[in-house]
Amino acid sequence: YINYSYLSTGHTKNGRAYAIRVNDTIIYGTHVPLNSKSRPTIREDYWDEIIDFYEEYKTNQIVLIGDFNTYDETSRAYVKYKKLLGKGALDLWLHQGKPNSTPTEVKYHNRLDYVFISPSVEENVVSMDIDANIMDKDKISDHAAVLLELK
C-alpha cells in the first residue's frame, strides 16, 4: 500500500497533467500538446503552468516527468524549458552527462520526454534510463520508456 494524495496542478486543459504527493516527494506527470492553428500558444501555456507549479513546490522534493514536446532550441517552448532550468530544476538526463541527442520518440527522432527534478531529489536518485526498445514495438507507444528509480 502506497500512501499518496492528489495535488492541484493548476492545469486547466484536457487533464494532461496530474500530480501526487508520495511521502515527501511530489510527482508531476504531463503530456504537453503541440501548438496548432486553433491553439497557437497552447504548448507555451502548458509550460507556464508547469513553471508555476515548480515555483510553488520547489522547496519540496519534486519530480516532473513526461512528454514535454520540446527539443527545437529556436522555439518559444525551448525558452520556457530554459526558464524552468533557471528556476533550479535539473534536466536529469543531461545532469547525468547523457547526450541530448538520445531520441525518445519515433517520428522526429528527438528527445521529447524528460525528467526534471528539484536539487533535493538528486541524493535519492538510484538510476534514470531511457528504454528505446519499446518505441513502436507492437504499437504500444511511439515513445521510449523513461525510467526513474528513487530510494
The reported pTM is 0.92
Q: Which residue has the cell 497533467?
A: 17
- Partnered with residue 4 across adjacent β-strands are 22
Cell of 55: 515555483
Strand pairing report for 25-31 and 61-67:
parallel
* Exposure of 69 in the CB half-sphere (CA atoms within 13 A): 14
Rounded to whole angstroms, the Cα distance separating 73 from 76 reads 8
Instruction: Return per-residue pLDDT of the chain as tens, 151 residues.
Output: 788 999 988 765 567 899 999 999 999 999 999 999 999 999 999 999 999 999 999 999 999 999 999 999 999 999 999 999 999 999 999 999 999 999 999 888 899 999 999 999 999 999 999 998 888 777 778 899 999 999 9
